[in-house]
Chains A and B, each alone.
Chain A
Amino acid sequence: MILFPHLGPELNETVYLMAAVAAACAVPGVFLVLRRMVLVGDAISHVLLLGIVLAYFVVKDAASPLLFFGAAAVGVLTVALVEGLQRTKLLKEDAAIGLVFPFLFSLGTLLASMYLRNTHLDVDRVLLGSAELAFRDRLTVGGRDLGPRAFVLLGGTFVVFVLLIALFYKELKLCTFDPGLAAVLGFLPAVVHYALMTSVSLATVAAFDAVGPVLVLAFFAVPPVMARLLTKRLVWMLVLSVILAVTAAVTGTLLAIELDITIAGTVAGVLGAMFAVVYLFAPRAGVLAEMIRRVRMWREFHETLLTVHLHRHAGTPAEAEESRVDGLHEHLNWTEPQTAAVVRRAVANGLMVRAGDCWKLTDTGRKRAEEIVGPRLGERGASAP
């Protein structure tokens, strides 16, 4: 299938491959983000190099599927190691992560550079990934070409993730948002935790060839974070993450091909640009929406303050002085232009009207003030039902 006819079959496959990377990483990424474990994902992706190298020592075959599971197992072991270190209470989580993964990563690079020169496992390629070459590694079953190995792997991973989530949606949701309650109800949050860590490891190994350990983190973290800014519901977060991730992957890959630069890095850049847009303009949680909300609150607060001021003095001997049109700003201790602006909006909103030289509250205005300070003394009996 060729969606981009100007590119030729190989580059088309590269585009699909990146889309598969994006989709397969976005799903476990949602849970990483919600559980505040993005940096654990960072650690896992770095140590996979060691996993791949060790598994390679055992099976001596760079194309073996055992490499895949060996690497994933090392990822899960890393999580266990980090948690074990934390449990000694001698160091905190961040320090444990910062200690364990550079160490295992170093071991990986060291072993790879000492013993694996000139083999299929090239250090630079393993570190940075090369989506450009990934399509060459094909998966054939019984002589039939099923497509690039990484694509089949990632597609499969994605389908398995979606099935698992559909099956265990309730359990996942509970364990993510309230692990305490989940434990009390007997849902075994530890099992869900390690299942998630395994998923992250599998997705990373599958994506490894195409994007390398660092950029895979962009796929784990950025799409779910964008989705989080756009919605609060878990289902929508999952769906949006996948859509946004695939959009970024396709755009980034096409851009990279156009500019003749690294595909994985460009996709990460596109993800960053998309995040910037969402961060600024998300309908509710965006920076702009937040600013508009602040201005609105500020205005409402000052209008209310004005009604309270007028309300307090309504019917007292000082009323004429306190609500004078040209002296209001002195009593409120505001500047003149500010007062004028607040008065203009309060009048427009029907909170007060002008009566000669004075401002008087309308019924709406009185109600607004009474919401804050309650009815005036002496009017309590009258206003009670």
Chain B
Amino acid sequence: MIELFFDPTLQTVAMGTAAIGAMAGFIGTFAVIRRQSLQGDAISHAALPGLAAAFLLGARSPVVLVLGAALAGWVAMALVGAFSLSRRLTFDAALGGTLAVFFGIGLALLTYIKKHVRGAAEHGLERYLFGQAATLRESDLWAVLAVAGVAVAVVLALWKQFQLLSFDPDFAAVQGWRVRGLDWLLTALIVLTVVIGLQAVGVVLMSSLLVAPAVAAKQWQHRLGPLSALAAVFGAFAGFAGTIGSHLLSEEGRTVPTGPMIVISATAIVGVSILWALVRPRLVRKAVRST
């Protein structure tokens, strides 16, 4: 048990997933407050064709692949925004339809690559589907930290604007802020977070990392500052605990995937938080009655 923490590979992976979790928790807070929790789900699915297209066009370096993924995710969100302006389309249908169509095209491209591009197998594009935290290297860790640093810096620099955008976009517009532009910037940050996390935790699970820490933090805090900070802490903890947990549960010949373990840890935090939020009012009432 103790020697576990001195295994340098595991250390890197755990710190990487913790960093991804922290970033997702922090940025995800805004998505949850704006009732766009499922944005992450759509982006992570929609990123796939971008990844595959970048690969088909000859890109092999992870940075370019991730940029392709980000571009596709961002295009998908722009499309969803445009579709939901139409009077006969609703947001949920636009989001669900776009997500599935993009993902389908991505899968079609992936199978094409597998059959027609030589040497595609060793690049392991499929790890972006299911996520393989174990492939995180030290260089990946630095990349995650750098991107997270940029994202956090942007949010902090525009804190007031994002706060207003999250809680009262109409007032923000009346005040003369460029709500559209801010909205796109925030979406871009979410896209960035998702594509950075994709290869570690996979498509479906990335969306959970955006939502769960923020939902848990909301049960403890109401002010945006502490809320997003707490969400970051929860996200980091979920990433760390999930990695260690999957390592502990794995045995010879049976590996427990890391991504699902991270999601389960994150959901466990939410479960505790929600139980506390349900019990707390009763405790308070009891205390008031007894005084």
Q: Which of A4-12, A108-116, A176-184, A309-317 interfaces with chain B?
A: A108-116
Cα A269 to Cα B97 with chains together (Å): 11
Cβ of A275 within 8 Å of any chain B Cβ, yes or no, is yes
Cα A169 to Cα B129 with chains together (Å): 41
Q: How far is the CB of A21 from chain B (nearest CB, A)?
A: 13
Q: Which residue of A lies closest to B214 (CB)?
A: A95
Q: Chain A residues near B108 (CB, 8 Å)?
A: 256, 261-262, 265-266, 268-269
Q: Are B208 and A215 in contact (CB under 8 A)?
A: no
Q: Which of A32-40, A322-330, A334-342 interfaces with chain B?
A: A32-40
Q: How far is the CB of A149 from chain B (nearest CB, A)?
A: 23
A222 with B86: in contact, given A106-B208, A113-B256 (CB under 8 Å)?
no
Q: Which of B8-16, B67-75, B167-175, B259-267 interfaces with chain A?
A: B259-267
Q: Chain B residues near A94 (CB, 8 Å)?
A: 35-38
Q: Chain A residues near B35 (CB, 8 Å)?
A: 92, 94-95
Cβ of A128 within 8 Å of any chain B Cβ, yes or no, is yes
Q: Are A99 and B267 in contact (CB under 8 A)?
A: yes
Among A128, A228, A256, A265, which residue has the most Cβ atoms of chain B within 10 A? A265
Q: Are A285 and B86 in contact (CB under 8 A)?
A: yes
Q: Which residue of A lies closest to B254 (CB)?
A: A114
Q: Which of the residues A98, A102, A218 comes within 8 Å of B100, measured between beta carbons?
A: A218
Cβ of B125 within 8 Å of any chain A Cβ, yes or no, is no
Q: Are A218 and B101 in contact (CB under 8 A)?
A: yes
Q: Are A99 and B211 in contact (CB under 8 A)?
A: yes
Q: Chain A residues near B40 (CB, 8 Å)?
A: 98
Q: Are B105 and A106 in contact (CB under 8 A)?
A: no
Cβ of A155 within 8 Å of any chain B Cβ, yes or no, is no
Q: In chain B, residues 75-99, which have Cβ atoms closer than 8 Å to a Cβ of chain A?
A: 83, 86-97, 99
Q: Which residue of B lies closest to A231 (CB)?
A: B88
Q: Are B93 and A265 in contact (CB under 8 A)?
A: no
Q: Chain A residues near B278 (CB, 8 Å)?
A: 88, 90
Cβ of A225 within 8 Å of any chain B Cβ, yes or no, is yes
Q: In chain B, residues 201-225, which have Cβ atoms closer than 8 Å to a Cβ of chain A?
A: 204-205, 207-208, 210-212, 214-215, 218-219
Q: Chain A residues near B256 (CB, 8 Å)?
A: 110, 113-114
Q: Are B88 and A42 in contact (CB under 8 A)?
A: no
Q: How far is the CB of B160 from chain A (nearest CB, A)?
A: 24
A265 with B111: in contact, given A38-B92, A285-B86 (CB under 8 Å)?
yes
Q: How far is the CB of A169 from chain B (nearest CB, A)?
A: 22
Q: In chain A, residues 73-98, which have Cβ atoms closer than 8 Å to a Cβ of chain B?
A: 85, 88, 90-92, 94-95, 97-98
Cβ of B150 within 8 Å of any chain A Cβ, yes or no, is no
Q: Are B104 and A99 in contact (CB under 8 A)?
A: no
Q: Are A222 and B101 in contact (CB under 8 A)?
A: yes
Q: Are B93 and A36 in contact (CB under 8 A)?
A: yes
Q: Chain B residues near A225 (CB, 8 Å)?
A: 89, 93-94, 97
Q: In chain A, residues 205-237, which have Cβ atoms closer than 8 Å to a Cβ of chain B?
A: 214-222, 224-225, 228-229
Q: Chain B residues near A359 (CB, 8 Å)?
A: none
Cβ of B30 within 8 Å of any chain A Cβ, yes or no, is no
Q: Are A110 and B107 in contact (CB under 8 A)?
A: no
Among A39, A98, A214, A272, which residue has the most Cβ atoms of chain B within 10 A? A98
Q: Are B260 and A106 in contact (CB under 8 A)?
A: yes
For chain B, the count of residues having a C-beta within 8 Å of the partner chain is 63
A36 with B90: in contact, given A102-B205, A103-B267, A271-B101 (CB under 8 Å)?
yes
Q: Chain B residues near A113 (CB, 8 Å)?
A: 255-257
Q: Chain B residues near A152 (CB, 8 Å)?
A: none
Q: Which of the residues A33, A36, A102 comes within 8 Å of B204, measured between beta carbons?
A: A102
Cα A368 to Cα B194 with chains together (Å): 57
Q: Are B107 and A39 in contact (CB under 8 A)?
A: no
Among A102, A106, A268, which residue has the most Cβ atoms of chain B within 10 A? A102
Q: Are A285 and B87 in contact (CB under 8 A)?
A: yes
Q: Are B105 and A265 in contact (CB under 8 A)?
A: yes
Cβ of A46 within 8 Å of any chain B Cβ, yes or no, is yes
Cβ of A24 within 8 Å of any chain B Cβ, yes or no, is no
Q: Chain B residues near A107 (CB, 8 Å)?
A: 260, 264
Cβ of A161 within 8 Å of any chain B Cβ, yes or no, is no
Q: Chain B residues near A99 (CB, 8 Å)?
A: 37, 208, 211-212, 215, 267, 270
**Residues 254-291 of chain B: 1 if any A CB is under 8 Å from the residue's CB, otherwise 0?**
11110111011001001000100110000000000000
Q: Are B264 and A106 in contact (CB under 8 A)?
A: yes
Q: Chain B residues near A259 (CB, 8 Å)?
A: 112
Cβ of A365 within 8 Å of any chain B Cβ, yes or no, is no
A105 with B211: in contact, given A39-B96, A41-B96, A90-B277 (CB under 8 Å)?
no
Q: How far is the CB of B207 from chain A (nearest CB, A)?
A: 6
Among B87, B93, B106, B261, which residue has the most Cβ atoms of chain A within 10 A? B93
Cβ of A71 within 8 Å of any chain B Cβ, yes or no, is no
Q: Which of the residues B36, B93, B102, B107 comes within 8 Å of A33, measured between beta carbons?
A: B93
Cβ of B178 within 8 Å of any chain A Cβ, yes or no, is no
Q: Are A228 and B115 in contact (CB under 8 A)?
A: no
Cβ of B148 within 8 Å of any chain A Cβ, yes or no, is no
Q: Which residue of A lies closest to B265 (CB)?
A: A106
Cα A92 to Cα B35 with chains together (Å): 7
A272 with B45: in contact, given A102-B205, A107-B264, A228-B89 (CB under 8 Å)?
no
A91 with B88: in contact, given A97-B38, A114-B254, A218-B97 (CB under 8 Å)?
no
Q: Which of the residues B99, B219, B264 comes within 8 Å of A103, measured between beta carbons?
A: B264
Q: Are A39 and B97 in contact (CB under 8 A)?
A: no
Cβ of A379 within 8 Å of any chain B Cβ, yes or no, is no
Q: How far is the CB of A79 from chain B (nearest CB, A)?
A: 14
Q: Chain A residues near B263 (CB, 8 Å)?
A: 102-103, 105-106
Q: How far is the CB of B14 from chain A (nearest CB, A)?
A: 18
Cα A88 to Cα B271 with chains together (Å): 13
Q: In chain A, residues 103-131, which have Cβ atoms closer than 8 Å to a Cβ of chain B?
A: 103, 105-107, 109-110, 113-114, 117, 123, 127-128
Q: Which residue of B lies closest to A33 (CB)?
A: B93
Among A92, A94, A285, which residue has the most Cβ atoms of chain B within 10 A? A94
Task: Show 10 A/B contacts (Cβ-Cβ < 8 Å), sorted by A.
Answer: A88-B274, A95-B32, A98-B40, A99-B270, A106-B259, A107-B264, A110-B256, A214-B99, A229-B88, A275-B101
